[in-house]
Amino acid sequence: MESLLTLSIGEFRAVELSLRLNLALIGMTSLLMLLGITCTAPRYRLPLIISGVALLGAAWFESGVWMAWKEAFELAGTSYCVTGHLLGSEDRIIAWSLGVPAIFFCFGLLQAPGGNAGHHFLKKLSIAALALAIVAPFSSTAALALVIYIGWILCVHLPKQIRGTHLIMATRFSLGCIALGLLLMFLGGFHLLPSGGMASGVLMRGEILRSLIDLLSLVVPAATLLIGVLTLPEEKAAE
């Protein structure tokens, strides 16, 4: 009896490589953030610690996605056949819900001024980020709405003391990457992206697309946050 789904060796390896690369980049970015606390001012270390630990958790769940992919197929001659094990899609969702809200909160933590204005700003942002972490595994539509709301808090509804800083540009760039990742996810969910005619092609392109979404949502914003933190001491010294 033939398997319901088979992948060529090249297709299987392409997906596995994208998953391994995704896991490595998330883990490396997390370690760089934690190592970055050794060369930054004390007031900037907490955002690096929070985001670094959150990305470590995301990397752990991304490793579950990779392991699930390896268990879902076995080599049979010149192709890979399904084994009946499920792919780790829920691990990828949890990784997103751990990393993205933490990155948003850390951007706000870096920008928040002292006093009542900063306290009120961080309170609204922390509530929205916590809600995003909770609802993201259950509803992508609610997650998108919360991302838009957090973007409004970080980019529009700002205390006057922090408008015009270079961190605003970094925040907007990161928000754009995350929004692009969500857009790709919705387009893929509604089959509006080219995916190939055969089931094997659809599966391969879908997994590679999800890896790209994770890079846009986790690695790029985290790297932007790290670069923003590392340039803050110079900017303050110049002032």
Distance CA 37, CA 122 (A): 22
Give 196's pLDDT tier (boundaries 50, 70, 90).
low
State residue 82 phi and psi, 5-degree precision.
-70, 145
Alpha-carbon torsion (158, 159, 164, 170), positive or negative: negative
Q: Give me the percent of the chain exceeding a pLDDT of 70.
A: 87
CA distance 213 to 179: 10
CA 97 – CA 156 distance, rounded (Å): 23
* pTM score, whole prediction: 0.87
> For the residues 57-77, what does the mean pLDDT come to?
89
Query: What pLDDT shows up at residue 130?
Result: 94
Phi, psi of 207 (to 5 degrees): -70, -40
Indicate whether 239 pLDDT > 60.
no
pLDDT digits (tens, 9 = 90+) for 15-47: 999 999 999 999 999 999 999 998 888 888 899
Please report which confidence band the pLDDT of residue 238 belongs to, taking 50, 70 and 90 as the band edges. Answer: very low
CATH entry 3.90.420.10 includes domain 6-238? no
Strands 6-8 and 79-82: antiparallel
> What are the residue ranges spanned by the domains of the chain?
6-238
